[in-house]
Chains A and B, each alone.
Chain A
Amino acid sequence: MDITNLKSWELRDKILNKEISSYEVTEAFLEKIDEVEDEINAFITIDADRALEKAKQFDQKLMEGEEIGILAGLPIAIKDNIMTRNLRTTCASKMLEKYIPPYNATVVEKITREDGIILGKTNMDEFAMGGSTETSYFGPTRNPKNKSFVPGGSSGGSAAAIAAQESALSLGTDTGGSIRQPASYCGVVGIKPTYGLVSRYGVVPMSNSLDQVGVFGKDVKDAYIALKSIVGYDPLDATSSKKAKLEDIKFEEISLKGLKIALPKEYDELRVEGDQEIREVFKKSLKVFEDNGATIEYVSLPYLKYALETYYLISTAEVSTNLSRFDGIRYGHRALDYNTLDELYINSRTEGFGEETKRRIMMGTYALSQGYKDEHYKKALKLRTLIKNDYDRVFRNFDIILSITSPILPFPFDSVINSPVDMYKADTYTVPVNLAGLCAMSVPMGEVDGLPVGLQITANRFEEKKLFTAAYGFERSAK
């Protein structure tokens, strides 16, 4: 039997019942990595020896009857923009090709404390900028469902690692859809938690006010275990919330009856070419909710139409300031050829960053520059207020908002990447969630042309329980 087929919650039960050891589970996933990784390329760095050693230590701990953390010896893969002490962390960039962090991100500390076994670091778009994992310095990840197609991005490696059964669970980061979109493309569950629910300490920042760490799993219960292990207030992250908690959920008692669902009618105006079939699958999914006693109503969020532009102005402004830390001096790539300090900066950055990263730094620099700042950056911040107000109004009367996760299907390599604006438009449904700091989840809702498509469930800030209720109720009934 191939145990990498099993859900994490099933493996967890087996480990806790001592039917199988964490060592055997870890070994099985490492064997799977050996088998498929040449084709998939979900990982940048694999930490096999240390993983097996940790699994052995865990099994010992279990034998001795010590208290066991929620991850109970399950293998987990970490996106490569999350710092792991003594384990290379590259952000998929030439800039950090050799960077060895001297400390752990808080989420990594938590995973270790909760008895997760870290298998390695997953591939991503460079500095988490992109929607296809094609901008990685270490080559693209392939979609396990169809290897001629992209896995989505930026957390493409973390999503593919779950779909290809290379890891039981994984962590990603989501600034504008970087967990939900690859989850949709790879047919797995992905959660972007409320801003402030999970610590960002030790996570290489892209856009501070939008970034959030989240999780991937095979199904809703898997994702719950992963999320439960990393939530919580962290004094080391000034934006982490003192309200950060994830309630216990009794999945067997979940019902969709009485759930109030809102559908933004503006989404009909935001249609992109070729989304017809995805919308058909979406309609069928709505019926599952209705058949199980949920109510659905159309609502209006008039400022949603401007979310994408608002997002790209704010995020790039933050990117340009964040990435100014890469100066070639303290860490990261340093050019060999320079005569002045200015040349050291310019040559190191020019050689170390890829095209999309440069484009976003340039755009942010432009949006923040004298003479344009009010027209662009300030204007975007005001729109962010209007978008947030729209959501606040809707959530006074509704539990969740439903939409498709991505308006386009997974696409072939070297296609959309050549048109940055089309690539950005794939984020239409995901970016507003980050602007308003809400929580959202992508769950598989079916297939179009043999490719997976995801349903996006959005709930108000710190209402993760409603996400799990809707997602599990749907997953169970849609089977």
Chain B
Amino acid sequence: MISKEEVKDIAQIAKLKFDDDELESFTEKFSLVLDFVHHINVVDTDGVEPCYGIGDENGFFKEYEKEQTLDREEVLKNTTESEYGYFKILKVVE
């Protein structure tokens, strides 16, 4: 069983937050999910290569060419705040 403190620690890494009243029910369901995935620990996988993806074709380098890029105005339409053609956030360096 995972503790509420551990859940809070993981949430911090994931940039999420749980209120105290949410935390109880989340921790409970989260524990069930973790118990469930632990089943695979019984399998002996010594010497087996990990499979990161299925494709067996080698990657390749693209020719360097200037490709069409997205329109700046259109891209900025999806942000909350922009200024002088840039995304605007709060000041992080004094």
Contact = CB atoms under 8 A, between A and B. Distances in A.
Given A306-B43, A309-B36, A327-B15, 8 more contacts: A309-B37, A329-B89, A330-B87, A346-B16, A362-B11, A365-B13, A382-B45, A420-B29
A150 B50 CA distance: 37
Interface in A334-374: 334, 338, 340-342, 344-347, 349-350, 353, 355, 358-359, 361-363, 365-367, 369
Nearest to B79: A330
Interface in B44-86: 45, 48-55, 57, 59, 62, 70-71, 74-75, 77-81
A1 interface: no
Contacts of B36: 309, 312, 421, 424
Contacts of A350: 16-18
A89 to B, nearest CB: 10
Interface stretch (A113-121, A384-392, A444-452): A384-392
22 contacts: A102-B74, A102-B77, A196-B55, A209-B52, A241-B57, A312-B33, A329-B89, A331-B79, A340-B90, A361-B14, A362-B30, A375-B41, A379-B41, A380-B40, A381-B52, A382-B45, A382-B50, A383-B48, A384-B50, A388-B51, A420-B32, A421-B36
Nearest first, the 5 A-B pairs at minimum CB distance are: A437-B54, A381-B50, A331-B78, A382-B45, A102-B74
B43 A334 contact: no
B45 A309 contact: no
A312 B62 contact: no
Q: Contact size class for B?
A: 35 or more
Contact of A344 (B33, B79, B89): B89
Contacts of A338: 90
A99 B41 contact: no
Interface in A63-117: 98-100, 102-103
A136 interface: no
A87 to B, nearest CB: 13
Contacts of B33: 312, 359, 363, 420-421, 424
Nearest to B73: A102
A378 B34 CA distance: 16
Contacts of B51: 381-382, 384-385, 388
Contact of A366 (B34, B70, B81): B34
Contact of B50 (A195, A332, A378): A378
Nearest to A355: B26
B1 to A, nearest CB: 14
Interface of A: 98-100, 102-103, 195-196, 208-209, 235, 238-239, 241-243, 303, 306, 309-310, 312-313, 320, 324, 327-332, 334, 338, 340-342, 344-347, 349-350, 353, 355, 358-359, 361-363, 365-367, 369, 375-376, 378-386, 388, 419-421, 424, 436-437, 461
Given A103-B70, A420-B32, A239 B7 contact: no
A309 B40 contact: yes
Contact of B37 (A98, A239, A331, A376): A376
Nearest to A370: B13
Contacts of B32: 419-421
A380 B52 CA distance: 10
Contact of A306 (B17, B34, B40): B40
A239 B53 contact: yes
Contact of A329 (B16, B45, B52, B87): B87
Given A209-B52, A350-B17, A383 B43 contact: yes
B72 to A, nearest CB: 10
A312 B37 contact: yes
A350 B87 CA distance: 21
B54 A346 contact: no
A365 B40 contact: no
B16 A361 contact: yes
Most chain A C-beta atoms within 10 Å of own C-beta, residue among B41, B57, B70, B87: B57
Contacts of B57: 196, 241-243
A350 B37 CA distance: 25
Nearest to B59: A238
Contacts of B53: 208-209, 239
A386 B53 CA distance: 13
Contacts of A361: 14, 16
B68 to A, nearest CB: 10
A346 B15 contact: yes
A36 B75 CA distance: 35
A345 B15 contact: yes
A195 B54 contact: yes
A235 B62 contact: yes
